[in-house]
Structure 1
Amino acid sequence: MSEPGPYGYQQQYPQQNWQQPQPTNVLAVLALVFAFLFAPLGIVFGHIARSQIKRTGEQGDGLALAGLILGYIFTAIGILFFIAWIAFWGLFATAVTEAADDARSNTYSYTTAQSYAATTAPRTTTVPQTTTAPRVTTTVSGPLPTVTGTDRQGFISNGPRCNASNPAVAVAITTGSRVVVCETGVGRYYYKGERLSDGATIEIDDPIRTREGFAARNDDVTYQLSPSGLLVLDGGSELGSEPAVEVWLN
């Protein structure tokens, strides 16, 4: 109620308008929380919250902005980590595959003149050369090969050699290989070859006699040994030819 002033006027008191403070936007809070829990969802909540705050005037724009910034940072870190994780396991799988391939690839097949290449052939096995003990000349019966450095089982010190009690029926030195064909004693043979350039070896079961010598087949690749040398064919196509240096055929 107003009272009369000194000049007869009623004294007026200004009215005070009290405004309720705006509540904090719920999505702004969620944006900041999910920036730590699941960053992409924090980004989504942050954008929605800022849009709602512009319309409603609610509090929480700083929270929404913080959620957006942290959400983008953590999302970028997560993407980088995921890429690094994929790269690591990709390299690991490649290393495991290469190791398994190396373990399986224990035989060789001819690809070009005077060269061998790794392949997997179930009928063949490699025989590692050893230098820990000298080879011993045996007394296996049969004619003595005329090739230098050989006895009745093949090469004495360097080169392929027949297993114990198996005599050699063919021995050869070519421009690229040393070769021996051995007899098991029951009318069957096996072929052993060694590449001169790096000592790579190959062993093939059941080569057959031909009019000129022997032919050993390793899948589609055939090794033909004759007095003229070693001829290698792949399905009839010549892969390589190594002229003979010394050849003995029984």
Structure 2
Amino acid sequence: MADDIAGRGDPLKTLHLLWGRTEPPRRGPKSRVGVKDLVSAAVTIADAEGIDGVSTRRVAEAVGISPMSFYTHIPDKAVLFDLMLDAVSGPAEGESPSSMNFDPAHWRDNVALVAREYRAFFLRHPWVMQLSSHRPVLGPNTIKAYEHFLSTFDGLGLTEVEMDLSVSMVANYVHGAVRDVLRASQIKAQTGLSDDEWWYTIAPFLETIDFTPYPVSNRVGPVVGELYGLGNPDMAFDFGLERLLDGLGVLIAGKKKAAS
């Protein structure tokens, strides 16, 4: 997975492709396949098989061109990854993102809504989590998504830096929460056991262990186990998000108090 890193392609070539600034070849017949076709095919492969399934040859074959013809549109796989990331950062087909005209009076609901949209994005395209991404993909969809998220903190009295850091904090929380959900799916695929099946397999052995030296665990564990076994990702996500919003509420209230 070390080779699957977004942002390591030629940055200027990537930006020209992201923003449609490339010039078509002056000679020869016009290609029936464009950059969007190649990116769409790559996303389809990644959604079905993960990022490891994406190769320039596979993508070229998916759209009916030769592997060498791929490079007349996109210089390499690294740039392709960036194009893929920006493509899926837009709304899903048939889906409309929540309005950018957020009412600051309902900032908490606004942030929660966009956080859940961000979570759904990762669950829809789990391969995005496989790509190590440090440098932002500054394409139109990515910037639109940032604008969308950033708008939830507009008009709350936060500085520009605080708005950006708030977006990063919530995004990092979503990123970590989703990673555990996707890891559970990967483990099931690799072991053939769901979390519940794994739990039932080891339960008889655990019943033979004396847990009295661990009084707090002994009290909490059975209650949690009976409620949701190894974990309820939706419950955990909602709980953590609410606590995160509580903290932001303290910051925002302090800003309003200082301004009054």
TM-score, normalisation: structure 2? 0.16
Comparing both structures, which one devotes a greater share of its residues to strand?
A: 1
Select the structure of larger CA radius of gyration: 1
Higher relative contact order (CA 8 A, sep 6+): 2
